[in-house]
């Protein structure tokens, strides 16, 4: 921000160049939100994942400061990926945080969770002497698995909701369903681990 006049649309670099390098011109706008919209475009060209993540968390903090009651969906324009907010916080705590590995986990986690659940349910169905259908719908597989083992019903029903994740991961533009949050991915992976333990025990009996 340029004190008393407006906001710099090209971020901290522009302000530093004005003060230190005595640059004669800079992009200054009267509204902070407009400056962040311009800066969001610059974020696309950040040098690396760390810079981009730190820029995004700075934008989000300022937007929240302006309007604490603003719904989260209004931030979508400023974020290339929601995970940049989390990575920005992590980089602030640990500059050596491995954002690349985290990004891969966020991108692939939903698909892996759905595929693992599908294969585990089919394994349970097959172990009961039933030919598993060639479907990806976890609700269908959950019903069949419950017929084979009634004691898996509660766990299987909790996993049904991630059926669409494989489609969303492979085809992000498909449908209007919002992508899963990091908390939802973590919970789904926990359920899949529980299902794996259940199937392993069932196979050993």
List per-residue pLDDT tens for the chain, 205 residues long: 444 444 454 445 455 545 554 555 555 655 666 665 656 555 455 568 888 888 888 888 887 887 788 776 777 766 767 778 888 888 999 988 888 777 776 777 888 889 999 999 999 999 888 899 988 889 999 999 999 888 999 999 898 888 877 666 555 555 556 677 777 888 888 999 999 999 998 888 7
H or E stretch at 29:
strand 28-29
Do 116 and 188 reside in the same domain of the chain? yes
User: What is d(CA 187, CA 56) in angstroms, rounded to the nearest whole number?
Assistant: 25
User: Do residue 87 and residue 125 come from a single domain?
Assistant: no
In a domain, 140, yes or no: yes
Q: Distance between CA atoms of 28 and 25, rounded to whole angstroms? A: 9
* Boundaries of domain holding 178: 105-204
The answer as to whether 100 is a domain residue is: no
My answer on whether 86 and 118 are in the same domain is no
Same domain, 110 and 186: yes
Residue 119, domain CATH: 1.20.120
State the total domains in the chain: 2
| Structural contact between residues 99 and 91, judged by C-beta atoms closer than 8 angstroms | yes
Note whether residue 153 is domain-resident. yes
Could you say which of 41, 73, 93 is where a domain stops? 93
Among the three residues 93, 122, 149, which one is the final residue of a domain in this structure?
A: 93
């Amino acid at each position: 921000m340029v004190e008393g006049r407006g906001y710099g649309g090209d971020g901290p670099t522009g302000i530093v160049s004005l003060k230190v390098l005595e640059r004669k011109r800079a992009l200054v706008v009267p509204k902070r939100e407009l400056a962040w919209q311009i800066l969001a475009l610059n974020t696309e060209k950040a040098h690396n994942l760390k810079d981009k993540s730190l820029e995004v968390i700075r934008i989000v903090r300022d937007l929240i400061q302006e309007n604490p009651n603003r719904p989260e969906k209004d931030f979508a324009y400023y974020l290339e990926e929601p995970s940049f907010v989390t990575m920005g916080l992590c980089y602030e705590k640990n500059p050596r945080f491995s954002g690349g590995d985290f990004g891969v986990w966020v991108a692939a986690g939903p698909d892996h969770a759905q595929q693992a659940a599908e294969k585990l349910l089919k394994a349970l169905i097959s172990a009961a002497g039933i030919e598993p259908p060639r479907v990806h719908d976890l609700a269908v597989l959950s019903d069949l698995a419950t017929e084979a083992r009634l004691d898996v019903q509660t766990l299987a029903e909790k996993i049904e909701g991630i059926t669409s994740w494989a489609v969303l991961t492979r085809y992000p533009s498909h449908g209007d369903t919002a992508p899963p949050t990091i908390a939802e991915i973590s919970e789904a992976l926990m359920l899949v681990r529980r299902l794996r333990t259940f199937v392993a025990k069932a196979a050993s009996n």
